[in-house]
Structure 1
């Protein structure tokens, strides 16, 4: 499964210092989902078989 970044989906490879800003931005809009452990191209990292895990 590949996840795509959009207005309601944020992707971060690791926990970054500006993570609070991302959360606040979603809270000030219509909400959304922030996925940590996902590259900008949508590839899930840190799992041997990411398709076997449900989101």
Structure 2
């Protein structure tokens, strides 16, 4: 299972809107490196700010 995903792949996996994912990355300082996001870092940041962490289907 891949750990670094594009915003599109992450949105499909977590069931979140792509634009919301990008907005959260910018607001919370989660890096988007070469168009990819570390899934575990993104989920950890969501959990740290108290947002519900969607589970993949």
TM-score (norm 1): 0.31
Structure (1 or 2) with the greater helix fraction:
2
User: Which structure would you say has the larger Rg?
Assistant: 1
Higher relative contact order structure (alpha carbons within 8 Å, sequence separation ≥ 6): 1
